[in-house]
A and B are shown apart, each in its own frame.
Chain A
Amino acid sequence: MSKEEKKVNRRDFLFTASYTVGAVGVGAVIWPMIDQMNPDKAQQALATTEVDISNIEPGKSITVLWRGKPVFLKRRTPEEIAEARAVNMDDLPDPQKDEERVKEGKDEWLVMLGVCTHLGCVPLKDKGDFNGWFCPCHGSHYDVSGRIRKGPAPTNMEIPKFEFVDSNTIKIG
């Protein structure tokens, strides 16, 4: 055996193979210990919420709980929709058209997570400078489409995944 061949010998192979198997084993033990802190099956089972919207008058809103967080469902009047769509995109810190925040043909229904994008407080309805929501924690103003207009919040209030099961029922999640 020449000197070059001896540089990688059987012992090196055994070391590398042992460490590799050891690392896989340690990883296989550590992962369950980490994953156990993720939402369990009981939590995942609560991942959708169905809401009856037949009793909501135009201009009114309700708040429901989805995954432990409030979801605002607002049935907007034609005037409010017109107001939301008249806004100049340049005035928005996080530009987004109102049409992108509602389902086509169901323009009156605004469904969004009632969680301020700043630090997670719940904004108050019909408050603030823009006829929408106002977060009392640190003074963020949202408009009638739930878009951030003034204050420290970085983005518009989030639109969750939802669908109309029928004309009177919305499924969130």
Chain B
Amino acid sequence: MPTTTQGYEGNTPAAAITPPIASSKQQLPPAKSVDTQAVLKRWLQSELMSLMMGGDPGISAFPEEDNIFCWKGTIHGSKDTVFEGTDYKLSLSFPTDYPFKPPKVKFDTACFHPNVDVYGNICLDILQDKWSSAYDVRTILLSIQSLLGEPNISSPLNTQAAALWINQAEYRKMVVKLYKPASA
């Protein structure tokens, strides 16, 4: 992690200052950014490795075919919640300054949930202002999984879902009705 920090901080000022300096120096920033990208790649790879080896049930994610900055995730609805027995696909895209900025996470599968809008955007504090570089893919997925069972009714994105939440039986019916599993 320290290497990442140095690499990142050392890069930006250099890029900002360079304009008046000779062209030879101008070659540097891209080289350095490749460097940080390589570091980030390794970071994400090790996250992937720990995610794979961790074997948490019900959550999973994997990079898309050739791009380690875009992951597909899968969350299994926890037992004893209205989402039991459903699988939700997510997409995660990592910014170049990850893990200092949170990844963008959204649902690919339509999810009838108070904190998820019709486009799949998620309202979750740790994905916005409460982000910490200590979080990783695993904690994000676990948070979203628990968010499914414990929505934040006070600031809903989907008011209909928030209103219905009190009636769990009806809500379950809605979930089942709206659930469209990803084609296998």
Q: Do A and B bind each other?
A: no
Which residue numbers of A lie inside 8 Å of B, CB to CB? none
Chain B residues near A (Cβ < 8 Å): none
